[in-house]
Structure 1
Amino acid sequence: MHTRPDAAPDRSATGAGYRGRFAPSPTGDLHPGSLVAALGSWLLARQSDGAWLVRVEDVDPPREVAGATQRQLDALAAFGLQSDEPVVRQSERGALYAAALDRLLAQGDAFECHCSRTDLRATHGIHRHCVPGRRRPDPAIRLRVPDGAVIAFDDALQGTYCQDVAREVGDFVLRRTEGLWAYQLAVVVDDAAQGITDVVRGADLLDSTPRQILLQQRLGLPVPRHAHLPLVVDALGNKLSKSEAAAPVDPARPLPALQSAWAALRQDPAAVDGIGDVAGFLAHARAAFDAARLRGAAQVAFAASQHTGFTIAS
């Protein structure tokens, strides 16, 4: 990965109106980092008078936590962040992913891969060529990434991002050996099907974006605009979903967590000071939100608090 000031940006999405989304995975209750992403994406959508959708990315059953989906949706509702359209669940959309995969296979852009992780150990997991003669009953399906496949795009908050997908990622998985859909394929298909014009999410997914743009190009789908929000990390630099300090936010006391999320988005605390209810907070936040304060911010540290769930440390 590297940035390149003169790199050509991606093709921006076209169409009537802004359509954004928040897409949590049901691997646990809503944590501070997820709330920051939800609030940030909601604010950017509302400032553009656009739609804000919620999509549950539940394509990895082994990692799901029972009841997490509903608890996440209930928490979002407590924070005043409700989808403008019915919530979509990826677990119900396998036919769409299969159709896209069939198209890629027919075009020669995807192929069966019989390699194991052990086979790829020498290349640190980067697949460029299959092991000759290797056969397995449950092959993965990978995207064929040509040499020199360099993707650059202009992120509204992080600037120009450039990645040599062939060298840094290799032929990446679209369907796993156990038959589960890979995130990269599912998210691309769903963003197109839902007409998403603007993808707003955490900066930890910045390096996934070139793979998604490459898939969009292969499938002839529009490329949305991108804005990657600063990632909320603990004192050791760990992403909250992987941190032992990442206690869930408390939906019973939404205002302290919303104020902390506002601080994580580098916004003026005075703009929401003294607001006594969620609706009032969101109205003031919408009016005062300044996306320019986020430009170039890749992460923000937090400290745990028994009263708010988290407070921003830097």
Structure 2
Amino acid sequence: MAGGTIIRTRFAPSPTGLLHLGHAYAALVAAREADTGQFLLRIEDIDRDRCRPEYEAAIQDDLVWLGLDWQQPIMRQSDRMEAYRAALKQLAPFSYPCRCRRGDIRVALAAPQEGALPAGPDGLIYPGTCRGRPLSDAGPGDVIRLDAERAFAALTLDRIGFRDQAIMPGHDHILTREQFLDGIGDVILSRRGMGTSYHLAVVVDDTAQKVTTVTRGKDLFDSTYIHVLLQKLLKLPTPRYHHHRLIRDDSGKRLAKRDDARAIRHYRDDGATPQDIHRMLGF
């Protein structure tokens, strides 16, 4: 408990593969940061094409094996489409439909320049081809994007920022309006066939679950600027942030779901104990 405030955290995996060492580290960090009984599990299953119930069951089984417990019931994003629709409606004044595919964006970005294409936390930085289209023009194949420039103007902000408990504590991490527009741009609020996006869902769900400290890997650090902007637009509170280190393989590469050999299930099958995994991860 920090300054009389209950510390509530969450671990929010997507059930698209087995739990690996990086996930285990993230879950253990979140659980250790939380006050007793304030650790939550959220299943981020908006990608219905890739999510599988057997992976969700395996993730929960591995977390219990690691010694973790969480409040019930578990929140599942697939049950929360109405909340995301309400948030999208609130963001309508700062949104527009976009019909561009990745190939269209690559062509638009490559036309006037050579070398690497500009990318940010949401992928290639959208060049604004569909900006200005009214939401009434949206079709089933469109995504919905945030008009970042309009959002900053509505909030009368010239910068956006937050503090982090793990990276330079006490320091304000700031992006100016121009840095946000150039380095992040018009992010997607609702993806085709999903009804939402990671950025929108995580902001809405963290508020719904009364999460006070968001713990996650450093790879999501730049995404936090997006989330703070959405929180301000939706008039939601901004939690504390703790971006922890990433677990990497022997070559220094961040572990991903495709790194099946690092799955907790395989360590268990080879006779490892929960204490072995804790020690392996530095706890």
Shared fold (TM-score greater than 0.5)?
A: yes
The one of 106, 109, 118 aligned to 2:103: 118
With the length of structure 2 as denominator, give the TM-score of the two structures: 0.79
Do structure 1's residue 25 and structure 2's residue 14 form an aligned pair? yes
Do structure 1's residue 138 and structure 2's residue 141 form an aligned pair? yes
Cα pair 2:166 2:242 within 8 Å, conserved: yes
CA distance in 2, matches of 1:65, 1:33: 20
With the length of structure 1 as denominator, give the TM-score of the two structures: 0.72
Identity of aligned residues (%): 38
Deviations 1:12-48 (A, max 9, x none): x9995221111111121111001111111111113xx
Cα pair 1:234 1:243 within 8 Å, conserved: no
Partner of 1:68: 55
Q: Which deviates more from structure 2 when the two are superposed, residues 181-190 or residues 59-68? A: 59-68
Using the TM superposition, give the Cα deviation of residue 235 of structure 1 relative to its aligned residue in structure 2, in angstroms. Answer: 2.1
Using the TM superposition, give the Cα deviation of residue 128 of structure 1 relative to its aligned residue in structure 2, in angstroms. Answer: 4.3
The 4+ residue runs of structure 1 with deviation greater than 3 A are 13-16, 131-137, 147-150, 160-163, 242-246
The one of 134, 148, 170 aligned to 2:185: 170
Change over 3 Å in CA distance of 1:237–1:65 after alignment to 2:
farther
Q: Which deviates more from structure 2 when the two are superposed, residues 147-156 or residues 160-169? A: 147-156
Change over 3 Å in CA distance of 1:38–1:132 after alignment to 2:
closer
Change over 3 Å in CA distance of 1:168–1:256 after alignment to 2:
same
Using the TM superposition, give the Cα deviation of residue 176 of structure 1 relative to its aligned residue in structure 2, in angstroms. Answer: 1.1
Change over 3 Å in CA distance of 1:190–1:204 after alignment to 2:
same
Change over 3 Å in CA distance of 1:75–1:132 after alignment to 2:
closer
Query: What is the Cα-based RMSD across aligned positions, in Å?
Result: 2.6
**Counterpart of 1:53 in 2: which secondary structure?**
strand
Structure 2 unaligned blocks of 5 or more: 110-116, 118-123, 153-157
Structure 1 unaligned blocks of 5 or more: 1-12, 268-314
Partner of 2:275: 255
Q: Which deviates more from structure 2 when the two are superposed, residues 223-232 or residues 144-153? A: 144-153
**Counterpart of 2:256 in 1: which secondary structure?**
helix
Alignment-mate amino acid for residue 256 of structure 1: D
